[in-house]
Amino acid sequence: MSILVVGSVALDSVKTPFGKVDSVLGGSGTYFSTAASFFTDVRLVAVVGEDFPAEHLDFLRSRNIDLSGVVAAPGKTFRWEGEYGYDLNEAHTLDTQLNVFGSFQPDIPDNYRDAKVVFLANIDPELQLQVLEQVAHPELVACDTMNFWISGKRDALLKTLKRVDTLLINEAEARQLAEEANLVKAAQKIISWGPKRLVVKRGEYGSLLFSEHSTFAAPAYPLESVFDPTGAGDTFAGGFLGFLAATGNLSERSIRQAIIFGSVMASFTVENFSLERLRQLEYIEIEERFRRFKLLTEFAGLDN
Amino acid sequence: MSILVVGSVALDSVKTPFGKVDSVLGGSGTYFSTAASFFTDVRLVAVVGEDFPAEHLDFLRSRNIDLSGVVAAPGKTFRWEGEYGYDLNEAHTLDTQLNVFGSFQPDIPDNYRDAKVVFLANIDPELQLQVLEQVAHPELVACDTMNFWISGKRDALLKTLKRVDTLLINEAEARQLAEEANLVKAAQKIISWGPKRLVVKRGEYGSLLFSEHSTFAAPAYPLESVFDPTGAGDTFAGGFLGFLAATGNLSERSIRQAIIFGSVMASFTVENFSLERLRQLEYIEIEERFRRFKLLTEFAGLDN
């Protein structure tokens, strides 16, 4: 199955203790699409400005990503400037220029409307709803959100969540959304509002998958060099949904494997700035790292 | 095999968002011994003051812990007062009264000197060395330490580490000790100084076990109610070493299981103040939670 993703395509300027880059390719839609493209066909809906370098579109096309939903609008591309300290878990936003993204109204092309798997990246929950209204019969809808929408558009977000199967957010966002400090209780509360499952992203500490009857904990891959965490969450989502769309299997077994594929993709992304590591990545490396996750986490039970 | 542990026996006053307790049983030696006592025989070396309630000694005896190395000294028992916010990962020390613990000189009773498994809880690294000089031929020596000794008695600590098989410290301490922000590199550095393996404790994020050729990641058990994290690290060590001492098996397989038993014991400890949860605990609950850790972490490989 192919995936429809609606998100941002951006030009990022990022500083970490290990270096800095200016106006490089970024954006939730970009990271997600690229990660998912290792597993399945991806259809991207986004907006770019007149200043957006053609080479970036060429790169996305080279990953076989369908760009017929990417609109070039008059004005400048969305720009984000951020900085990370040695605690790479937290980004400090220095500047955000929404530019053409500020008036983004996602219009789903006809040839996308039969999408079975949909990812709504971190955009205004009202737009997320608009997207869902344009998709005929999705079988799996996942979405991301952030503190800004949780506090500013709570009602719209709760409406969106009623139509979402899987919510992927970070730990602080889960607590904020549920208004509950304990993560297990927060997850139960969020699941009672609609989503079948909640993926809590914890950066270098991995992730937790909560569903009604089961909890799964996955570590992050311990890396010797983490250069830039930007895009880790979106590539996680790309690996997760990419694998599920490729197999079409939504069993607990498959969903747990998908969490690991998400973790694998995130672990590659942070090894270099922007999408540099993903540009070099071969599928065989993805499977190799999946196997390393297995070695990293397995232990003998009491009965074997 | 039985375990020799040298550590503190204390009276703690603790405040968390969920309640407060005054002058309750605490101390690294206490938490460790009690956790390890579910697996094997424990011999405790510690000092208490004249004010130490006899009922606490009775409790430790009821756990079959050998107290012939616990000295009652003139003066008051070591007292610690601490507070936790909603971020239960970090204790804020309000007051420390070393009292009789300030002049503690561990004297290992003759009947303890043949100990094969030794745990040096977080005490002055010079005292840790003194203990090792009094033990004939230990097969497994583990120790803990803290920021205070890492910065204040670095040379003595490095000397101790040369004679230690397993170092158990928290994440910030590992970075501080190695003077290296990246945890994987920090672990490699510490292992090059002597310890065969390093256990990095990450509170609610679980733990990482590093050895020369292998890394193992274990989550913490996601709990619906965490009351008081005091003693979690020491009960982790107690479950870890208790299991290893009971089986006498130091294979990678056994050590990974021991990490899970450590995680299990820590997960019970934090469910109530002081040692209240461990007082009520039955061994069958430990095995039950071990099985839940298995369910929490397992996923299918690519080839099965």
Give the tens place of pLDDT for each residue, B196-231: 999 999 999 999 999 999 999 999 999 998 999 999
pLDDT band of residue B304 (cuts 50, 70, 90) is low
Evaluate if residue A286 carries a pLDDT over 80.
yes
φ and ψ at residue B5, rounded to 5 degrees: -125, 135
Interface check for A86 against chain B (CB to CB < 8 A): the answer is yes
Residue B181 to residue A86, Cβ atoms within 8 A: yes
Digit-coded pLDDT (tens) for A3-49: 999 999 999 999 998 899 999 999 999 999 999 999 999 999 999 99
- Smallest Cβ–Cβ distance between B297 and the set A181, A290, A297 belongs to A297
Q: Which residue of A has its CA nearest to B211?
A: A296
Residue type, B69: G
φ and ψ at residue B250, rounded to 5 degrees: -110, 25
Q: Is A102 exposed, middle or buried (0-12, 13-18, 19+ CB in 10 A)?
A: exposed
Residues 279-298 of chain A with CB under 8 A from chain B are 287, 290-291, 294-298
Alpha-carbon span A32 to A38, nearest angstrom:
11
Alpha-carbon span A105 to A121, nearest angstrom:
14
Residues 172-191 of chain B with CB under 8 A from chain A are 181-185
The arithmetic mean of pLDDT across residues A58-71, rounded, is 98
ipTM of this complex: 0.95
Interface check for A199 against chain B (CB to CB < 8 A): the answer is no
Q: Is A211 exposed, middle or buried (0-12, 13-18, 19+ CB in 10 A)?
A: middle
Interface check for B256 against chain A (CB to CB < 8 A): the answer is yes
Nearest CA to A167 among A139, A133, A195?
A: A195
B224 vs chain A: nearest CA distance in angstroms?
Answer: 5
Q: Is A93 exposed, middle or buried (0-12, 13-18, 19+ CB in 10 A)?
A: exposed
Mutation for A interface: B225, B244, B299, B302, most A CBs within 10 A: B299
Evaluate if residue B174 carries a pLDDT over 70.
yes
Q: What is the pLDDT of residue B126?
A: 97
Nearest CA to B80 among B61, B100, B69, B95?
A: B95
Residue A216 to residue B297, Cβ atoms within 8 A: yes
CATH tag, B3-297? 3.40.1190.20
Q: What is the DSSP string of B99-125?
A: GGGGG------GGGTT-SEEEE-SS-H
Domain residue ranges of chain B, discontinuous segments joined by +: 3-297
Q: Helices marked H in B193-282 — which ranges? A: 232-247, 252-269, 276-280
Alpha-carbon span B117 to B141, nearest angstrom:
6
Residue B202 to residue A205, Cβ atoms within 8 A: yes
3-class DSSP state for residue A257? helix
A301 vs chain B: nearest CA distance in angstroms?
Answer: 7
Alpha-carbon span A38 to A57, nearest angstrom:
17
Alpha-carbon span A179 to A169, nearest angstrom:
14
What percent of chain B clears pLDDT 90, i.e. is strictly above it?
95
pTM: 0.97
What Rg do the C-alpha atoms of chain B give, in angstroms?
18
What is the spatial order of strands in the sheet that B207-211 belongs to? B65-72, B42-48, B3-6, B117-120, B140-143, B166-170, B197-201, B207-211, B214-218
**Helix, strand, coil shares, percent, chain A, to 5:** 40, 25, 35
Residue A17 to residue B182, Cβ atoms within 8 A: no
Nearest CA to A211 among A202, A221, A222, A200?
A: A200
Digit-coded pLDDT (tens) for A182-211: 999 999 999 999 999 999 999 999 999 999
CB B59 within 8 A of CB B260: no
The arithmetic mean of pLDDT across residues B261-287, rounded, is 98
Residue A216 to residue B17, Cβ atoms within 8 A: no
- Smallest Cβ–Cβ distance between A296 and the set B217, B300, B301 belongs to B217
Alpha-carbon span A30 to A52, nearest angstrom:
13
Q: What is the pLDDT of residue A202?
A: 96
